[in-house]
Copies of this chain bind each other. A is one copy, B any other.
């Protein structure tokens, strides 16, 4: 089946989401089954509004620049599809003679991809839909880990190490420093900060994740105890930690985001305030926010390469006749880290979340177990050199100017 292919990016970007994009493009350029390569502008939005670019016209140099650029080079969109949207998207796919659709995204996007796959099947239109995983949150089920996670983990663990050098050297200032990690329902990123224990076993870091109910009283006691022992204290907290009743911590004034989910980001500010009100310590917080998913200087080489490989693999799966599946990463046994790529039905990932196993969390000491470190350590290995111009990174996105 020869035909055109369409690629779109979805959801929150990662440092390596463009590695997957270029992996798909480079492999599609080699494919005997693929003619034109379209890139949907701003994700689903481009498919609904007939906005796309010709990815097969990019030069080799431009492809290389895009690989080393954070953000979603094609643009992305957060939006919940209606039945009518689905029809329009498949209309668009049919009208462009698209036979291969590659959708780079997280668990919400895999749901959308699955619906598109079903709609095409319903019409009897031959379309291969392949999901390409990406998630800094690492919350995709049925894959060992998600591209994007390793780089965000490396970013945050490096942040903790840098800040530890700062606060340790100002130990007389009596201060607790809180770093807020992304993670609405899962604590993978906050947990990854336990990696700093690989560098030194003597870093007073407390980790709090949504998978374990948060108690403000236990938190304050632990902070005071740690501070009295070390003279300073570092805390990393997932944005989505919840109390015993399942309420978001510090979220008295919660607002909703466009998808109707509570908008987060206030927990570190709240905890800072509580520490200052209830103890004799001072506190401050660091909020890397979207930078933890868009920094590429601290990107993991393993993560970047795997993100590129899942893109290539997606094209191979389509060539092999798969559809309605997502590429997975499977860790091989053995002492040295190695992976193979597999596939699972989109429905096995769609709208579901993988949480941190509580057996990997040491709630007593607010840290992670050795088993978790063994899991995450290989994912942050290696550095990527980003080309610079005049001391700043040379990035290349693909969006037309004022495309909004």
Please report A residues at the B interface, Cβ cutoff 8 Å: 9, 12-13, 42, 45, 69-79, 154, 157-159, 161-173, 177, 195-196, 198-199, 202, 230-232, 255, 258, 265, 269, 276, 284-291, 293-298, 300, 377, 380-383, 388-395, 397, 399, 401-404
Residue ID in chain B nearest A162 by CB atoms: B294
The 8 closest A-B pairs by CB, nearest first: A231-B404, A71-B165, A166-B294, A72-B169, A287-B287, A71-B169, A171-B404, A380-B391
Verify A171–B397 contact, CB threshold 8 A: no
Verify A171–B403 contact, CB threshold 8 A: yes
From residue A187, how far is it (CB to closest CB) to chain B in Å? 20
Residue contacts A-B, CB under 8 angstroms, 30 given: A9-B169, A12-B170, A13-B170, A71-B164, A71-B165, A71-B170, A75-B168, A77-B172, A78-B173, A79-B172, A158-B297, A158-B393, A159-B295, A161-B395, A162-B296, A165-B397, A166-B290, A166-B291, A168-B399, A171-B403, A196-B392, A198-B392, A199-B393, A284-B289, A284-B290, A287-B287, A288-B288, A300-B391, A377-B390, A380-B392
Contact of A286 among B42, B287, B392 (CB under 8 A): B287
Give CA–CA (A300, B297) in the complex, Å.
13
Residue ID in chain B nearest A404 by CB atoms: B231
Q: How many copies are assembled?
A: 2
From residue A85, how far is it (CB to closest CB) to chain B in Å? 14
Contact of A269 among B12, B269, B388, B389 (CB under 8 A): B269
Verify A290–B159 contact, CB threshold 8 A: no
Give CA–CA (A154, B202) in the complex, Å.
30
